[in-house]
Amino acid sequence: MEKLTKDDVHPKILEALLADTNISVEDALENEMILNMGPQHPATHGVLRLLLRLDGETLMGCVPELGYLHRGYEKLAENMSYYEFIPHTDRLDYLSPMSNNVAWALAVEKLAGIEAPPRAQYIRMIISELARIASHLVAIGSLAMDVGALTVFLWTLREREKILDVWDILCGARFTNSYTRIGGVANDAQPEALAKVKWFIDQYLPNLDECERLINTNRIFVERLDGIGVISADEAIDIGLTGPSLRGSGVEFDLRRAQPYLFYNEMDFKVVTYPDGDSLARYFVRADETRESIKIIRQALEKMPQGDTLLNQPKKVLPKKAEIYSKMEELIHDFMIVNFGINPEPGEIYHAVESSKGELGFYLVSKGDGKPWKCKIRSPSFVNLQAVPQLVKGHMISDVVAIVGSLDPVMGEADK
Amino acid sequence: MPLSKELIEQKLNEKFSGESFVFTEHRNELTVSLDKKNIAALCKYLKEEDQLAFKLCEDITAIDWAKRKNRFTVVYHIFSIKQNFRLTLKADVDESDCNIDSVSSVWKTANWHERETFDMYGIHFNNHPDLRRMYMPEEFEYHPLRKDFPLMGIPGSLSLPKNKN
Amino acid sequence: MGLEARLNGDSFFTTTVDALTEWARKNSVWPMPMGISCCAIEMMASGDPKYDIARFGSEVMRFTPRQCDLMIVAGTVTYKMSHVVRKIYDQMPDPKWVIAMGACTSSGGMYRSYPVVQGIDQFLPVDIYVAGCPPRPDNLLNALMQIQDKIGRTKARDFQDKPLPELTVIQNN
């Protein structure tokens, strides 16, 4: 391995890394060692770069460096219409594109003061729960892979493929879907897709149990996670953790329950919490949350009404494609929306949903134009990553992968 | 007692008498605009007052109004888990005096949010423990989310690796 | 290979050795998964039981560049990341190939914005471009088969005179 030098690490980062010691940059390599982890490392879940300060194998400090996947989303959003930004939201948290679509659509609808029809909202609820399952499956699988259990990864990815197949039927894309529209969804859910969802939720639980049987009693897996990266409830709130990472510390905070959107207030589900606050608890929360998602999907499928899936409001919502080709009026509306945008009245809103990683919020400022004046994405991965230096301190170097894996960051979202 | 606009208004005016707060509501979201010199004290109060308990800082960002006199507005979204209430704070910052007090001593999570805002808008946060760029390389000179920065960037401002072969 | 360097010309022996090495090389391409963003998940999916990249002898994803001969650049390359990608490419031993997976790597894709490199061919030699955002795993497998074709057409002797890549050994201070 090559020695890390001052050329590879910016002096300001070194300064932050060595902030609480009296050793200088020059003799850093004599007493303690500085180790570079990432941005190309299999266990950093993308392009996260961690600079670790080590005393032997014990971690004395850690400075995460982000920005290797900074793609300028917020600048892009300011330069395109609300509709055009839908495909970009897919690629934020690319493990659960559907729930990002839903979050964006809900935020814009709140800004424009419209609401999608009930059937569309039920479809949105089903797909965001499916997305949550898909994302948690990758999180569980890759966490297991990081600590050495490759089989689980293949098994969870097999389950995930089934969800991607549902999306393939639903909207023709298996990965980056762009399925929601402002004021509804792109097309009604086909009977085949719903049948596939039913089939999936029936066979999912036994398969999850099978995965859990493999690792929950596995001594290596448990001991690599148990008591690693402990964070108390107060500290977790202070550092801004949300989602499964916060609920792993015993805080019963879930936006689906606290500030219900869609029809979550009519659903019967439990907010899963585990009190320990370590990596194992965060893993348990994720696994159990998929069970609750299955419950929600089952109820939603039962309660789902018939009806339209797109709001009929020509000034704000794109008309259906078939009508654009056959009717003059719709053609004019389509032209106006595509060229000039939906022009929500001036104002600003913040709308947050509970995505698979935590609180995904969009802060939108409208000046009455077709483009947002300002769009800020409050991404859960970004905030959750901030806890890494605090969590890894005092642990061994091999625990870093377990801690980062249990926080489940997605760099597309963290770097924006 | 559930939190409402009136209660917050009353509490803030009691605590910070003589300061002017502007309360606005849009789509059922309460926003408080305040003078930037009060921000740290106000945030500390909002977090530590038992009845309010805004313990979760969700987001800090800024808005660039381009041609306005107070060019930037720093925006804070804070949430009270206890009261299940979200509040937005806004403080204007002018370009000529482009700084505001840091709230990272109040909420630890503000650290990275403020670094991001500094990176994107060039607003300086006083008393910040570690004010560096968040996303862009340290050598980068510009602040990309300012309205005068072009979408495609400034040619030559970011380097590519040299082709050896 | 040292052997064919000593035996010049297209003798029976060298061509047979060539055929053998080509066959071996093309059926055991070890990819370096340069997974950066969304495409990395589809690259992972191509290794899962459904698509099963092992059918093409490429299931051995090596996370160290020194054991790889194919780099799959999967995901948006920003200016900040480009230095890392290039450094890893330089560390791979010859002969080596590059797949630019997805629209972002090939051309910047939908990110016409300030931090994104508009196509990795600005700093890397690319052999195969894969379309899609992200490409389906089938597409990646197709690209892999095309790389195998390309390897099959490459003579082992083509690399004998090429100097070894310059390893950047940095001294402290």
Question: If DSSP codes are grouped into helix, strand and coil, which group holds residue A179?
Answer: coil
Query: Which member of A67, A240, A361 has the closest CB to residue B135?
Result: A67
Would an 8 Å CB–CB cutoff place C99 in contact with chain A?
no
pLDDT recorded at residue B75 = 92
Give C89→chain A minimum CA distance, Å.
12
Q: What share of chain A is helix, strand, coil (3-state, %, to 5)?
A: 50, 10, 40
Q: Is residue C3 part of a domain?
A: no
Structural contact between residues C46 and C141, judged by C-beta atoms closer than 8 angstroms: yes
Which residue is closest to A5 within chain C, CA to CA? C172
Q: Which residue has the higher pLDDT, B158 or A103?
A: A103
What is residue A296's predicted lDDT score, i.e. its pLDDT?
92
Judged by CB atoms closer than 8 Å, whether chains meet at A67 and B134 is answered as yes
List CB contacts (< 8 A) between B151 and chain C.
Answer: 112-114
| Residue C141 within any structural domain of the chain | yes
Which residues are paired to C72 by β-bridges? Answer: C33, C99
Domains of chain B: 5-126 (3.30.460.80)
**Topology of domain A83-311+343-378, CATH:** Cytochrome-c3 Hydrogenase; chain B (1.10.645)
Contact C170 A71 (CB under 8 A): no
Which among C82, C87, C114 is the nearest to B160, CB-wise? C82
The domain containing residue C52 runs over which residues?
Answer: 30-155
Q: Which residue has the higher pLDDT, A215 or C160?
A: A215
CB contact set of C7 (below 8 Å; sequence gap of 6+): C13, C14
User: Do the chains contact at B164 and C166, CB–CB below 8 Å?
Assistant: yes
Model pLDDT, residue A30: 62
- Kindly list the residues from chain C whose CB atom is less than 8 angstroms away from the CB atom of residue B158: 79-80, 114-115
Tell whether A163 lies on the interface with C, counting CB pairs under 8 A. no
Give residue C172's pLDDT: 47
Q: Residue C110: which CATH number?
A: 3.40.50.12280
pLDDT for C156 equals: 62
3-state secondary structure of A241: coil
CA distances from A74 to A85, B120, B145, B152, C38 (A): 10, 10, 8, 13, 18
**Mean pLDDT of all residues in C131-146:** 88
Residue numbers in A near C101 (CB within 8 A): none
- Overall domain count for chain C: 1
- Record: contact C79-B151, CB cut-off 8 A: no
- The reply to whether B159 touches chain C by the CB within 8 Å rule is yes
For residue B61, list its beta bridge partners.
Answer: B75
Residue of C nearest to A66 (CA): C80
A69 has a chain C CB within 8 A of its CB:
yes
- For residue B60, give the chain A residue with the closest CA: A378
Residues of chain A falling short of pLDDT 50: 1-2
Which residues of chain C have a CB within 8 Å of the CB of B165?
125
Q: Do B137 and C86 touch (CB under 8 A)?
A: no
Q: Which alpha helices (DSSP H) does chain C contain, by range?
A: 3-6, 12-26, 38-45, 79-91, 103-107, 137-153
Instruction: Judge: C113–B165 Cβ closer than 8 Å, yes or no.
Output: no
Q: Does C113 touch chain B (CB under 8 A)?
A: yes
Residue ranges covered by each domain of chain A: 1-68+382-416, 83-311+343-378
Chain-chain contact of A69 with C168 (C-beta, under 8 angstroms) = no
Q: Which of B160, B163, B165 sits opposite C79 (nearest CB)?
A: B160
Residue A75 is nearest to which of B56, B134, B144, comparing CB atoms?
B144
Q: Searching chain B, which residue's CA lies closest to the CA of residue A254?
A: B81
The answer to whether C82 contacts chain B (CB < 8 Å) is yes
Q: What is the pLDDT of residues A11-64, one digit of tens each?
A: 777 777 776 665 555 555 566 778 888 787 776 677 888 888 888 788 888 888
The nearest CA of chain C is from the CA of B91 a distance in Å of 28
Cβ of residue A80 closer than 8 Å to a chain B Cβ: no
Q: What is the pLDDT of residue A147?
A: 86
Tell me whether residue C165 is in a domain: no
CB < 8 Å to A238, chain B:
55, 107-109
Q: Which residue of A has its CA nearest to B113?
A: A383
B150 touches chain C (CB under 8 A): yes
Is the pLDDT at C145 greater than 50? The verdict is yes
C34 vs A: CB within 8 A: yes
Q: Which chain C residues are within 8 Å of A72, Cβ to Cβ?
A: 111, 113-116
Tell me what pLDDT residue A102 has. Answer: 92
Contacts of C155-161 with C-beta under 8 Å, sequence gap 24+, read C155/C18, C155/C22, C156/C1, C156/C4, C156/C17, C156/C18, C156/C21, C156/C22, C156/C25, C157/C1, C157/C4, C157/C5, C157/C14, C157/C18, C158/C95, C159/C1, C159/C94, C159/C95, C160/C1, C160/C4, C160/C5
Residues of C in contact with B154 (CB under 8 A): 114
Q: What local confidence, expressed as pLDDT, does residue A295 receive? A: 92
Look up the ipTM and state it. 0.91
Least confident of B22-36, C80-94, C158-172: C158-172
C22–chain B Cβ distance below 8 A for any pair: no
Thinking of the domain A1-68+382-416, which architecture would CATH place it in?
2-Layer Sandwich (3.30)
Name which of B135, B151, B160 is nearest C117 (Cβ-Cβ): B160
From A259, which residue of chain B is nearest by alpha-carbon distance? B84
Q: Which chains touch C (3 or more CB pairs under 8 A)?
A: A, B
Residue C8 lies in a domain: no
- Whether C7 is covered by a domain: the verdict is no
Closest-CA distance of chain C to residue A232, Å: 31
Return the pLDDT at C173: 42
Shortest Cα distance, chain A CAs vs residue C48, angstroms: 6
SS3 A330: helix
Q: Judge whether C63 and C91 are in contact, CB under 8 Å.
A: no
Res A2: pLDDT: 45
Q: Is C164 on the interface with B (CB under 8 A)?
A: no
Q: Which residue of chain A is at minimal alpha-carbon distance from C65?
A: A40
Which bin fits B101, alpha (ψ -120 to 50), beta or left (φ > 0)?
beta
- Say if residue C120's pLDDT is above 50: yes
Peptide bond preceding C95 in cis form (omega within 30 of 0):
yes
- The pLDDT assigned to C164 comes to 53
Q: Is A365 helix (H, G, I), strand (E, B) or coil?
A: strand
CA–CA gap between residue A318 and residue B108 (Å, rounded)? 43
- Chain B residue set in contact with A, beta carbons under 8 Å: 26-27, 29, 31, 55-59, 61, 63-64, 75, 77, 81, 84, 86, 88, 107-109, 111-113, 116, 120, 130, 132-138, 144-145, 149, 151
**Could you tell me if residue C9 is inside a domain?**
no
* Chain B residue with the nearest C-alpha to that of A257: B84
